[in-house]
């Protein structure tokens, strides 16, 4: 893996998307400033940069799949691993830049404009640091979502963002139907399950389909599995597309 090739790919990506990054940075800055000036749902501000990075991920490989560009892109003297690593670094840098820009706007709104407009800080009792940073599981969930949309950008030839949303909705709907049918087969219907649950409510018997305590204590396992799974699929798809 050649660092120079990765650097060249990153430079080309930033040159092609510098206007989009600038426009998104201005939007994030204005939203952060406005939200923290009037305290209008400032808790959602950290998610804005994640949403923009998700959109960037869904479009990263899309231009390369067009007929006019695909031959040039896949014949570049770089390996699939270098293209893959450059995509990860690009999205990481974009996320950091957008988050820092949002942090700057939030700081101006919170520490400078809010005292001028309202005359005091923390009027609604929210903590500034708690609203500008995601929690650990929030970052993991964002990274998992980004990995899904990055794979979609190399899997779908066009409109990857919309197709991923539709595919996700269809998958969740199908999984819900499957789980409901399996649930009814296992317990003989909702009424029987309710009666069984009420009968064992005061007893020592517990009906646990899933170990909720284990999932709560190890919440990070599922996002990490999703990240590794879809990043692996992205790399394999990239190599397959080149062939």
Q: Average pLDDT, whole number, for the chain?
A: 78
Kindly give the residue spans of alpha helices, DSSP state H, lying in the chain.
3-38, 45-59, 67-74, 80-107, 114-118, 128-132, 136-155, 160-187, 190-199, 212-217, 221-242
Share of the chain above pLDDT 90, in %: 23
Q: pLDDT: is 110 or 61 the higher one?
A: 61
Domain total in the chain: 1
pTM across the whole model: 0.78
91 vs 127 pLDDT, higher one: 91
At 88 the pLDDT is 93
Instruction: Give the whole-angstrom CA distance, residue 133 versus residue 226.
Output: 22
Residue 55 is predicted with a pLDDT of 92
What does the pLDDT read at residue 77? 74
pLDDT higher than 50, residue 125: no
Q: If you average pLDDT over residues 60-78, what whole number do you get?
A: 68
> Domain residues for 144?
3-242
Handedness of CA 16, 19, 24, 26 (dihedral sign): positive
pLDDT for position 91: 93
The predicted structure's pLDDT at residue 205: 46
Q: What is the pLDDT of residue 200?
A: 53
The confidence score (pLDDT) of residue 130 equals 64
Question: Per this entry, what is the length of the chain?
Answer: 243
Q: How far apart are CA 4 and CA 163, in angstroms?
A: 34
């Amino acid at each position: 893996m050649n660092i120079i090739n990765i650097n060249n790919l990153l430079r080309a990506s930033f040159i092609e998307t510098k206007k989009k990054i600038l426009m998104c940075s201005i939007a994030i800055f204005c939203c952060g400033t406005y939200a923290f000036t009037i305290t209008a749902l400032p808790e959602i501000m950290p998610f804005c940069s994640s949403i923009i990075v998700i959109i960037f991920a869904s479009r990263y490989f899309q231009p390369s799949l067009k007929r006019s560009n695909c031959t040039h892109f896949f014949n570049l003297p770089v390996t699939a691993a270098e293209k893959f690593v450059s995509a990860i670094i690009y999205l990481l840098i974009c996320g950091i830049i957008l988050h820092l820009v949002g942090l700057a706007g939030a700081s101006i709104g919170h520490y400078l404009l809010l005292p001028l407009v309202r005359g005091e800080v923390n009027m609604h009792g929210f903590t500034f640091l708690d609203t500008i940073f995601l929690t650990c599981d929030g970052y993991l969930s964002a990274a998992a979502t980004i990995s899904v949309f990055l794979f979609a950008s190399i899997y779908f030839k066009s409109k990857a963002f919309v197709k991923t949303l539709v595919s996700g909705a269809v998958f969740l709907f199908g999984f819900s139907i499957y789980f409901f049918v399996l649930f009814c087969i296992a317990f003989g219907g909702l009424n029987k399950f309710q009666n069984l649950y009420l009968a064992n409510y005061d007893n020592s018997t517990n009906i646990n389909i899933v170990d909720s305590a284990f999932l709560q204590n190890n919440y990070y396992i599922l996002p990490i599995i999703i990240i590794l799974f879809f990043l692996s699929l992205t790399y394999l798809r990239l190599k397959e597309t080149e062939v």
